[in-house]
Amino acid sequence: MKNYLVLPLLITLALAPLHALQGAAPSAPPIKPNLIYILLDDAGYGDFGCYGQKTLRTPNIDRLASEGLKFTRHYAGSTVCAPSRCVLMTGLHTGHSRIRANGPSHLPDTDLNVARLLKDAGYLTACIGKYGLGMPLPPDDPQKKGFDYFFGYVDTAHAHNGYPTYLFRNGAKAPFDNQIIPGSGNKPGTGVAPADGRKHWAPQLLADDVQRFLEERARDRSKPFFLYYTPILPHANNEADETSPLGHGMEAPADPEFASRDWPAVEKAFASAMKFVDRDVGAVLAKLQSLKLDENTIVMFSSDNGPHQEGGHKAAFFQSSGGLTGTKRDLTDGGIRVPFIVRWPGRIKPGTVSEHVSGFQDLLPTAADLAGVKVTAECDGISFLPTLLGRTAEQKQHPYLYWNFNEQGGKRAVLQWPWKLIQRNTASANSSDPTAAKKKKAADGSSLIVELFNLDRDPTESTNLASANQAIVEELTARMRQAWRDPK
């Protein structure tokens, strides 16, 4: 077990009210900031103007970056949603975490996670949107994990459906009069709504609930709050694509701005989804300012993995990978490097950019630092609070980042900046230690592909340097073995 200790002086200076920093009594207690973490679903590194998007406009998210800190080397926990969200919530990478795939899995109620940590530190905690920490899950699983309030989708598959017949609110079904075409889904709540059965679009319902939640927090300021806001956009409804009689899977109301564009219908819908996301981020910022919650609220913004190619959408159409190689389900940077922006008025210098190498596992120790508590469980993360405060000399660095992914025959990667090693099996998936694939070649016919890239010199991961750098390959392979253990 590793305990991540708080730096008392750093936290006191960071969280003290401004008048305390200007000479008030030193015994004044620090103020714990509110925290809003906005996690998009399948948005790519290049889907936003501040990260290089040229076609779609994202003025509100760009404003978030201009008023805060933009990370350029931030990595998702995995290349698909459930394991990535598990890393974000638990601080454990996919060599240690409980949930390592989009399949049957769950977190024990006793495991430490961000919601539980902040709730125990005196925060009111809420999740609005897609929860998705494993499957199948009981409807009240978010409450069991430390969320005081929940509204949205508990299961990841249910969240495919943008026009659901129900969502969950605090463990109980909240019904809506949408319809689902019989036979169009094979899991509870999934399916596709016919054109005349689309009455209530879930992303708007979730956005409205966020506004209501913030209004309640303005009326009752007795506790700091943690809002984990997880829209289902721009994920597609995987039960449909553009070749299906059910229509494409980008379920977003058409925005008139894109009606005359010479684009496929599915790409117009994707653009409409991204415009809604940007407008919604602007609505959150506006609400914080109008309620005078702005100065003591940190807003973090990211995506759970790289851009998808589902429901008929093509990631290349809007260059969603941002010049990086790969998409969702790849361990090249296009599949795992994600946008990450943090805004904290009065604390973060506006318009700053950080090349600090960080990952989803860092949220838990950072949240602990912000709340003035310590992590009392195993944690692979490192607090990035020093980076937020501009104290880069005090920022600890990761010895490496690690990913394991069991789809497509099995693949794993380790990043020890600037070197990144990727190993991929071309045949059967792994049943135990993934770094033992070479030993299994004769027995099952699998073949191991080894790739080594220098991300400083080759950010597109186009030149495999493994053959010329065997010592580095061996060093990083040893890191992989160190990072992996059998799931509990």
Query: What mean pLDDT is reported for the chain?
Result: 91
Looking at the structure, tell me whether residues 422 and 295 fall in a common domain. Answer: no
Residue 238 has pLDDT above 50, yes or no: yes
* Residue 446's CATH number: 3.30.1120
Looking at the structure, tell me whether residues 254 and 362 fall in a common domain. Answer: yes
Token pair, residue 173, equals 């079904």
Looking at the structure, tell me whether residues 314 and 412 fall in a common domain. Answer: no
Residue 441 has pLDDT above 70, yes or no: no
Task: Count the domains in the chain.
Answer: 2
Looking at the structure, tell me whether residues 439 and 319 fall in a common domain. Answer: no
Position 192 scores a pLDDT of 94
Of 375, 394, 413, the residue at which a domain comes to its end is: 394
Please give, one letter per residue, the 3-state secondary structure of the chain.
Answer: CCCECCCHHHHHHHHCCHHHHCCCCCCCCCCCCEEEEEEECCCCCCCCHHHCCCCCCCHHHHHHHHCCEEECCEECCCCCHHHHHHHHHHCCCCCCCCCCCCCCECCCCCCCCHHHHHHHCCCEEEEEEECCCCECCCCCHHHHCCCCEEEEECCCCHHHCCCCCEEEECCEEEECCCCCCCCCCCCCCCCCCCHHHCCCCHHHHHHHHHHHHHHHHHHCCCCCEEEEEECCCCCCCCCCCCCCCCCCCCCCCCCHHHCCCCCCHHHHHHHHHHHHHHHHHHHHHHHHHHCCCCCCEEEEEEECCCCCCCCCCCHHHHCCCCCCCCCCCCCCHHHHECCEEEECCCCCCCCEEECCCEEHHHHHHHHHHHHCCCECCCCCCCCCHHHHCCCHHHCCCCCCEEEEECCCCCEEEEEECCEEEEEEECCCCCCCCHHHHHHHHHHHCCCEEEEEEECCCCCCCCCCCCCCCHHHHHHHHHHHHHHCCCCC
Position 242 scores a pLDDT of 74
Looking at the structure, tell me whether residues 384 and 406 fall in a common domain. Answer: no
Percent of the chain with pLDDT over 90: 84
d(CA 82, CA 157): 10
d(CA 114, CA 88): 8
Looking at the structure, tell me whether residues 195 and 304 fall in a common domain. Answer: yes
Residue 442 has pLDDT above 70, yes or no: no
Position 212 scores a pLDDT of 98
Of 361, 376, 394, the residue at which a domain comes to its end is: 394
Residue 437 has pLDDT above 90, yes or no: no
Residue 20 has pLDDT above 60, yes or no: no
Looking at the structure, tell me whether residues 285 and 415 fall in a common domain. Answer: no
Residue 245 has pLDDT above 80, yes or no: no
Residue 290 has pLDDT above 80, yes or no: yes
Position 421 scores a pLDDT of 98
Residue 3 located in a structural domain: no
Looking at the structure, tell me whether residues 447 and 329 fall in a common domain. Answer: no
Looking at the structure, tell me whether residues 371 and 409 fall in a common domain. Answer: no
Position 415 scores a pLDDT of 98
CA distances from 141 to 147, 170, 189, 289 (A): 9, 9, 17, 32
Strands 172-175 and 166-169: antiparallel
Residues 295-326: tens digit of each pLDDT: 999 999 999 999 999 999 999 999 999 999 99
Residue 244 confidence class, pLDDT cut points 50, 70, 90: confident
Residues 139-191: tens digit of each pLDDT: 999 999 999 999 999 999 999 999 999 999 999 999 999 999 999 998 999 99
Residues 398-426: tens digit of each pLDDT: 999 999 999 888 999 999 999 999 999 97
Position 31 scores a pLDDT of 84
416 - beta bridge partners? Answer: 419
Position 247 scores a pLDDT of 82
Position 28 scores a pLDDT of 38
Percent of the chain with pLDDT over 70: 90
Residue 488 located in a structural domain: no
Position 408 scores a pLDDT of 87
Residue 446 confidence class, pLDDT cut points 50, 70, 90: low
Position 87 scores a pLDDT of 98
